[in-house]
Chains A and B, each alone.
Chain A
C-alpha cells in the first residue's frame, strides 16, 4: 500500500459561538487510498468536509496538501485539486453533461469554445467509468446515480487529486450503489484519494482501505480495514457524555390512542406504529432514512399510497393536515422557520392560527387572540417584550415555544415532534423536555423523531428505528442503549 500522504490535518480546532465542534483533530489521507469516515448524526462530519473544501476556516491547526502547508478557500481547494461532492446535487440540471463537467473550465481555441474536444474528452472519461451516459444528456434527466457519476467525471476531467463524497448513496438503488462503489475503486487505482462518508456500514466494509471514527469533533480511532469488526466501529461511535442526558419523570402509560398500519408512499417503504397515552415513542434513524417523510404521512401532509390510520381503535381517513388536526393531532416540524412560524407576524397572530381549524365560529375577536397568546407566553415562559412582537425577532428557543404554543392551543392529544430541540440552547432544551413531560401527565401521546441520541434515549419510552424508508426495529425501554439503536440504524447485526 502506498504510504505517501496527499492530505494531512494537524491539531485542528474549530468552534462556533458557544459550541466547540472540533478540538485538536488530526487526520491524514494517503495517495490512492479510500478513507471512510464514520460517526453519529452530529459527530462533526459535515464540519470536517466544510473545512477541507474551504467553506470553513479552522480556528487553529494546519492543513498540508502534497507536503506543503495550505490555507483553503473554496476557490483554492478546487484549484489544488480537492473536489467535494455534496449530498445534494450541485450540478446545473438544465445543462448537458459536457457543459456541466467543464463548467468554469471550458476549453477554448482562441475565443471560441472547443466543443468537439470537450465532448471527446467527456466521452472518454464516461467510458472509463463504464457509464452509458451520453455527453449530450441533460443532467436533470439523469437519476441520482447518474448525477453522482457526472460529478465524479467532473472531478476526473478537472484533474482532482482528492475527491470527497458526502453520503453519496442516499436515495440510491442497490445496483446504483454497486456501480458507484466500483467507480470509486477505479479512482483509487488511478492514484486518486477518496474520502468517503457514509451511514451505511456495509458500504464502508466493502470499500474502505482505512476507517476513521469521529465523535463530538474528536478522532476516536483510525483503523486499517483488515481485522476491523462492526462491533469495534459501533463501540467507538457511541459513548456520549452522560451529563447530556436528561432525567425524565415516568408517567403511567395508558391505552393505545394512535395507530398506523402498513403505511407506504412519500419515500416510506413500509411502516407500522402505535403510541399510547402517556408515552413517548422515539423514532431513531440516520439522516435521510425517511423519518420526516414518515411524519408527513402520519399528519396527512402527503397522502399515503397505502395503509390505514386508527384513533382509539377507530379507523379514520387522513386526507390532509386539516383532518389530522380535527382528530386532535399536531405536528411540530423540524424546520420551525420555514414550516412552523409566520415570521412576519406577531405572536398573537401566530399562536391562535391552528386552533381556528377546530373552531366552529367564523368570527375571530382580536382581544381573545391576544388573551390566548398572553396565556401561552406566560405558561410556556416565552421571553418576548409583548405578544405584539414579530416572531422573527425572538430567539430560536422562544420561537420553538411559539410553535408549541400554536399546537397546545388546539388541545391536541397526539403530538408528533420532529427534532424538537434542534438548534436551541441547553437551557431552552430542558424547558422543552419539561413541557413534553407536562403533556404526558395530561395523558397525551408523543411521537418524537430525533437525531440527538441523548435526547432519544433519555426521553423515549420505546424507540423504533428507521432505515432505508422502513421501520426496521422496535426497542423496548429496558433494551434501549446507544449501541443497540446505532446498530439498527446503520444496518449492522445485533
Chain B
C-alpha cells in the first residue's frame, strides 16, 4: 500500500513525462543504431559507450549552465535572448584581455564576471523599471553585444593557446574510458545548489511568486522591481561561468562561440517544463531538457544524419515538446473555465441572493 503510494507519487512528479521521453529516446537511438547501422553487432554500438557518454556530458555543460540562469529568469516571467551574443562578447573580450592586454588569468576572470553582471544589471534595470517587454529589450542587447564583439575582434578569432585551461580541460578519470570533465562537475554542482536555493529559501519561493502573479507578489511584500533586477544580475553570473568554460575548453575566443546558444537554451528550458508565462518550472526538468537535446544531436551524428536534417529534427522536437505541455495545460485550464462559469462576472459585483 505504502510503496504503491510512493510509486504513484513518483509517476505523478512534474518531471516524469520529460524523463520518460528521455528514456524512450535513449532506447530508441540504441535500437536504431544496433539494428540499422551496426547490423545487430552489440559490441560496435557507439551511443552507450562510456567515452561517448562523457563526450555528450561535456558538450552539454555550457548549455546546461546557461539554462540554469535562464530557468530562473523564465520562472519569474521574463526571458533573455541576449545570452548567446553576450557569450561571444565576453569570450572574445576575455581572450583579448588575456592575450593583448597582459591581464593575468584571475584578473581576466574577475573582469569578465563583473562585466557580465553589470551588463545584465543594466538590462534588468531597464526591464524592471519600465513596462517594456523583456523579449524586445534583450533582443536589442543581443544586437549590441554582436557589435561589441566585432569591435573587439574585427571578425577574427583570438586564440589564447595554452593559457586558462584549468576550468575546461581538467578531467577526473573515473575509469580508463570514462572521464568526467570539470565543466560537467560544475554543471552538476550549480544545478544542485540552485535547486536547493529554489526549494529551501525565501528567495527561491519568490522567484515562483513573481512569475506566478506579479501583482499578488507585490502585495505580499516582495519588491518586484528589485527582485527582477537581482535575477538578471544573477543570470549574468551564469553567462560568465558558461563563457569561461567554453573559452577554456576550446582555447579560442571566437566571435561565433555563443551564436544561437539562446535558442538551444530556451528550447531546453521549455522542453524541461518551464512555462513561458512564468511561475512554473524546475531545475531538474531543465537538466533533463538539456540532456535530451544533447542526446539527440549526439545520436543524429552517430546515426550519420546530415547536419541539415539535424536542424529540422531538433526544431520539430522542440515544437512537439511545447505542444505536449500546451495540451497538458489545456486540461487543467478547462477545469478552471468550467469552475468560473458557475458565477457570471456581473453577479460577482452584486450581492448574491438566496433563492
Interface residues of A, Cβ cutoff 8 Å to B: 16-21, 41-44, 46-47, 50, 216, 240-241, 243-244, 287, 299, 301, 320-322, 324-326, 331, 333, 338-345, 349, 352-354, 356-359, 361-366, 390, 392-393, 395-396, 406, 422-426, 429, 451-455
Contacts and interface: CB of A to CB of B under 8 A. Distances in A.
Contacts of B343: 16-17, 396, 423
Contact of B212 (A299, A342, A424, A426): A342
Given A342-B212, A364-B205, A365-B200, A353 B220 contact: yes
A423 B208 contact: no
B344 interface: yes
Contacts of B351: 42, 240, 244, 451-455
Contacts of A396: 339, 342-343
Query: Which of B202, B219, B342, B352 lies at the interface centre, i.e. has the most chain A CB atoms within 10 A of its CB?
Result: B219
Contact of B352 (A19, A344, A364): A19
A455 B213 CA distance: 29
Contact of A392 (B218, B336, B342): B336
Given A342-B279, A344-B212, A345-B212, A301 B219 contact: yes
B352 A425 contact: yes
A290 to B, nearest CB: 16
B346 A354 contact: no
Contacts of B208: 342, 345, 349
Nearest to A42: B350
B203 interface: yes
B347 interface: yes
A235 B230 CA distance: 58
A42 B349 contact: yes
5 contacts: A17-B343, A342-B213, A364-B205, A392-B336, A452-B350
Given A19-B355, A364-B202, A343 B349 contact: no
A451 B223 CA distance: 31
Contacts of A352: 205
A404 to B, nearest CB: 14
Contacts of A47: 346
A415 B201 CA distance: 28
Chain B, interface size category, equals 35 or more
Contacts of A325: 220-221
Interface in B154-204: 199-204
A354 B342 CA distance: 29
Given A322-B221, A357-B222, 20 more contacts: A17-B342, A18-B352, A18-B355, A19-B352, A46-B346, A216-B353, A244-B354, A287-B349, A321-B220, A338-B213, A339-B215, A340-B216, A341-B213, A342-B213, A344-B212, A345-B212, A354-B221, A357-B220, A425-B352, A426-B353
B348 interface: yes
A366 B205 CA distance: 10
A301 B219 CA distance: 7
Given A18-B355, A344-B279, A393 B215 contact: no
Query: Which of A43, A364, A393 lies at the interface centre, i.e. has the most chain B CB atoms within 10 A of its CB?
Result: A364
A16 B355 CA distance: 11
A453 B349 CA distance: 12
A405 to B, nearest CB: 13
A423 to B, nearest CB: 3
A243 B354 contact: yes
B212 A322 contact: no
A395 B355 CA distance: 19
